[in-house]
Chain A
Amino acid sequence: MGTFHHDKGELHGITVVVDVKGSRLFVGRCDTVVPEGVILLDADMHDEAVADDKGNVVSKGDYLKKAARFGIWKKHDRVLVPAEEVVSVTPLGEMA
């Protein structure tokens, strides 16, 4: 696709879901994938083992259903998801 940054890889600029081992997952705009991991911008991290502000525990699947429909509320400007924890990287648009 026509981005201004052709050196950053095919996922650059794409909102992706980075599922990791355990109860957490990350959603954010992929900056680049490096040997150390996946760098996300404007990202959110969801942990299905931790209750939200309202005391609800939300599964990864339910969180993703909502994210796929409306997007995510950014909580972090930049996140490096360590490569050794990454299970999958999937465009959020493919989950809608």
Chain B
Amino acid sequence: MYDPALVQPMRDDMTSMNAEELTDPAAVDAFMAREGTKLVFVNSVCGCAAGQARPALRIALQHATKPDHVGTVFAGQDADATAKARDHFADVPPSSPSVALFKGEELVHFIPRHMIENRDAPSIAFDLVSAFDEHCVS
């Protein structure tokens, strides 16, 4: 586990885009119980991948159509919360950073780490916005 002071800016990056930090399993369960569309961002200290994924999400959340709720767990930092979040997409191999989009309880879109690596933020954001347009329209 990394020094909390080192990862705090990565947490702040998420909360500054109004993502709700889910730091324990109860918070994850409460978040997932909400109605509507939900996005769970699995945060990571990885400089190359998460360093593009967070800005991508920031861009995507400026789109008119977006999830009703946005939450984040921090892999390697908040292990129990991350494990609980992954229970909700248990058929998908764990990876971080990654992005899971739910409609109700159904996982409708997932962006694993390897689809984030080596891509710039606008490209990742385009994928996210496309998923929002497909799944987040009421």
Contacts and interface: CB of A to CB of B under 8 A. Distances in A.
Interface of A: 1-4, 12-15, 68, 70-74, 91-93, 96
A54 to B, nearest CB: 15
Main secondary structure of the interface of A (DSSP, over half): loop
B51 interface: yes
Contact of A70 (B49, B51, B112, B118): B112
B112 A1 contact: no
30 contacts: A1-B52, A2-B51, A3-B47, A3-B48, A4-B47, A13-B46, A13-B47, A13-B49, A14-B114, A14-B117, A15-B113, A70-B91, A70-B92, A70-B93, A70-B110, A70-B112, A71-B95, A71-B112, A71-B113, A71-B114, A73-B93, A91-B114, A91-B117, A93-B114, A93-B115, A93-B116, A93-B117, A93-B118, A96-B114, A96-B115
Given A1-B48, A2-B51, A15 B93 contact: no
Interface of B: 46-49, 51-52, 91-95, 110, 112-119
A2 B53 CA distance: 12
Contacts, number: 54
Nearest to A91: B118
Contacts of A92: 114
A13 B97 CA distance: 12
Given A70-B112, A71-B112, A91-B114, A13 B48 contact: yes
Given A14-B118, A15-B117, A71 B46 contact: no
A52 to B, nearest CB: 15
Contact of B48 (A2, A70, A96): A2
A61 to B, nearest CB: 17
Nearest to A16: B114
A70 B93 CA distance: 7
Given A2-B47, A3-B47, A71-B93, A13 B117 contact: yes
Q: In the complex, which of the residues B51, B95, B119 has the most CB atoms of chain A within 10 Å of its own CB atom?
A: B95
Chain A to chain B: the 7 pairs with minimum beta-carbon distance, closest first? A15-B114, A1-B48, A71-B112, A71-B93, A92-B114, A3-B48, A3-B47
Nearest to B92: A70
